[in-house]
Structure 1
Amino acid sequence: MTIQQIADRLVELSRNRQSTQAYRELFAQNASSHEMPGVPDGTVSGLENLIAKSEAFDQMHREIHELTVTEPLVYQHFFTVGMGIDVTKSDGTRSQEHEICVYQVKDGKIVDERFVYSMPG
């Protein structure tokens, strides 16, 4: 797959709320994930750990009201998408979150993902 095809497929799977499928299909075994600095356990490595992190994130939500994913922007070995979610969390609070997601591709697989968003406070 080309980087554009990988980016398009990630967007498709994300919009359909199929994050585990996206990890299994598009990510390298040794891929890493990075949240904003200061987030506890914000860096995770290894495909199974990325899947576990994603599934834990999903379990924190009671209801997803809206999920938006932009079209990807591809440049060299990277692509980025914007993601937004309007969600009611398990504790009953509702919030809207927005982030820029940057992915690095090597040898036809995503090897690194980084999330950029505003930190509370």
Structure 2
Amino acid sequence: MQTSEIADRLVALCRAGEFEQAQTELYADDAVSIEPEGAPAEVVEGLDAIREKGRQFMSAIETVHAITVSDPLVAGDYFSVTMTLDTTMKDRGRSVMEEICVYGVEDGKIVSEQFFYSMGE
């Protein structure tokens, strides 16, 4: 798959709330996930660990009110999207999280993801 095809598929799955399916289908086994400094898991390596990080995040959510994902912006082997999650968290109540997500692609698979968002919001 070309980077633009991977980007479009990731966006479609994320818009449907199918985050783990996106990881299973599109990520390399040795992919790396990077969160902002101070996040509970700043760097996670490997697809199994990335899936587990996602499961832990989703288990902290009581209700998903809305997921908004922009169309991808593609440049070479990279693409980015903005994502907004409107959720009620089990321990914090309702909140809206906005982030920029940047993905790197090699050999038809996502090999890196990095998320940019404000901590503490």
The bucket for the TM-score relative to the shorter chain is: over 0.9
With normalisation by structure 1, the TM-score equals 0.96
Instruction: Tell me how far apart the structure 1 counterparts of residues 15 and 86 of structure 2 sit (CA, whole Å).
Output: 13
Q: Give the structure 1 partner of residue 20 of structure 2.
A: 20
Q: Tell me, which stretches of 5 or more residues in structure 1 are unaligned? A: none
Count of residue correspondences: 121
Q: Give the structure 1 partner of residue 31 of structure 2.
A: 31
Checking the alignment, whether the CA contact within 8 Å between 1:62 and 1:92 is kept in structure 2 is no
SS of the counterpart of 2:9?
helix
SS of the counterpart of 2:118?
coil
Shift of 1:37: 1.3
CA distances 1:92-117 after superposition (whole Å, capped 9, x unpaired): 61101100000000011000000001
Instruction: Tell me how far apart the structure 1 counterparts of residues 29 and 4 of structure 2 sit (CA, whole Å).
Output: 20
Instruction: Tell me how far apart the structure 2 counterparts of residues 44 and 91 of structure 1 sit (CA, whole Å).
Output: 23
Q: Give the structure 1 partner of residue 115 of structure 2.
A: 115
Q: Give the structure 1 partner of residue 43 of structure 2.
A: 43
Shift of 1:40: 2.8
Instruction: Tell me how far apart the structure 2 counterparts of residues 40 and 51 of structure 1 sit (CA, whole Å).
Output: 15
Checking the alignment, whether the CA contact within 8 Å between 1:102 and 1:113 is kept in structure 2 is yes
- CA RMSD, Structure 1 to Structure 2 (Å): 1.1
With normalisation by structure 2, the TM-score equals 0.96
Q: Say if 2:36 is the partner of 1:52.
A: no
Checking the alignment, whether the CA contact within 8 Å between 2:33 and 2:44 is kept in structure 1 is yes
Checking the alignment, whether the CA contact within 8 Å between 1:15 and 1:68 is kept in structure 2 is yes
Checking the alignment, whether the CA contact within 8 Å between 2:4 and 2:74 is kept in structure 1 is yes
Instruction: Tell me how far apart the structure 1 counterparts of residues 40 and 58 of structure 2 sit (CA, whole Å).
Output: 17
Checking the alignment, whether the CA contact within 8 Å between 2:39 and 2:119 is kept in structure 1 is no
